[in-house]
Structure 1
Amino acid sequence: MTDATAADSAARTRRRCRLVREAVLEWRGRSRFTVLCFLLFMAAQAAARLALVVAAITPSIPIDGYANDGMMSAFSSR
């Protein structure tokens, strides 16, 4: 990861955290359940992004010398 990419990623993370803090402060009069649902939604988004990154990387890793192309490799003839 280049320095510019790392700096951009860090800036996005800081901006996201600032947005969450502002939203929580703005919702101070709201119920805790509403704030908790919002934070849970933000965590689910982050987990989905991570899952997409892992899914993009995983197929390129060979397992037992064969390409990892899902269940089709288990049934293909050698």
Structure 2
Amino acid sequence: MNKLHYSLDEIPPILLAILALMLLIQGTWMFQDARKRDRFPWLWGLWGITSFPGPLLIYWLVVIRTDRKRHTRSKRNR
């Protein structure tokens, strides 16, 4: 078999458990933060448990960064 592809039998169970835990933590945090910001929490939470760290980076660019820009603009206009 090609050395770039692994079967689940070749990956240690502890690594799979760590990956599952990371995905669960990431998805939970994204869901809670999106709910706090009122920005489609179920979408971000479900997408957060699919892979790591892509959804988190895109969440930061789309949600957190735009909210910070909006917040600093509103402070300047006061």
TM-score surpassing 0.5? no
Structure number with greater CO (CA < 8 Å, separation at least 6) is 2
Give me the TM-score of the superposition, normalised by structure 1. 0.41
Instruction: Please report the TM-score for the alignment, with normalisation by the length of structure 2.
Output: 0.41
